[in-house]
Structure 1
Amino acid sequence: MVICIDEVSEIPIYKQIRNQIVLGISDGKLQPGEQLPTVRALAEEIGINSMTVNKAYALLKQEGYIVTDRRNGARIRNEFDQGKYLSQTSLDNLQQIISEANIRGFSKEEFFQLCEKYF
């Protein structure tokens, strides 16, 4: 698994890790049941503090994307709750994106076309 950290980004590193894992699940690069690197291994691979990776994994677990246990470590959840809701983090991000699009002059139709492209 390759995680790329943007050290000049305003997005905290733990959220960058979280976002890249969610994207990997969404686009099929990470499969249900797939083992994730240990906290220590991922921290060493990226060159960051292990507490940062631990915080990302804790958030992913809280949001229901991964399961963890002491024996098997962290894995992508086998099944996801199909309830149609988004995490508060995602709702906050969506509000930010919509605000930026509005400021930049996107019409609702243009914004929805852009959403359609990425959905």
Structure 2
Amino acid sequence: MFIEIKSDSDVPIYLQLAHQLMEGMVRGELKPGDSLPSVRAFASDLGMNMHTVNKAYHYLEEKEFIQIVAKSGVIIQPNGIPKASEEEKQKLEAQLRPFVTEGLVLKLSEEELVVMVRKLVQNIEEGNE
């Protein structure tokens, strides 16, 4: 799996890393039970601070996408990632609301917004930028 961090992005580096790992999960490049590199090894491979990798791992652990097991390492949830709960769906909807609102202010139609989301889903699943 290829990780690309954009230093000129407004998105914090730890979130870029976390999001790219999630994209790997979506594409099946990272499967339930797969091991991830240790914080130290991953930071070294990526040329970034260990605290950044640690923060990305803890972000993913908080969402229950990975498990951090002392002295055993980091693994993708071995039983798979469960379907989103109603609470998680509501949280995602709340996070999407400002983007949809901005699109509507810019006079994008509902259909244009739907097409954009479909394109994003396709690009994520196919590993395109």
When the two structures are superposed, what TM-score results if normalisation uses the length of structure 2? 0.79
- Compute the displacement of 1:110 (Å): 1.8
User: Which of 109, 115, 124 does residue 113 from structure 1 map onto?
Assistant: 115
Partner of 1:51: 51
Q: How many residues align?
A: 118
**Which stretches of structure 1, 4 residues or more, deviate above 4 A after TM superposition?**
90-93
Partner of 2:83: 82
- Compute the displacement of 1:114 (Å): 2.6
Partner of 1:9: 9
Partner of 2:66: 66
Q: Does the C-alpha gap of structure 1 residues 29 and 93 become closer, same or farther in structure 2, counting only changes over 3 Å? A: farther
Larger fraction in helix: 2
When the two structures are superposed, what TM-score results if normalisation uses the length of structure 1? 0.85
Structure 1 residues 62-106: Cα deviation after superposition (integer angstroms, max 9, x where no partner): 001101102321111122122332485x55652343234223321
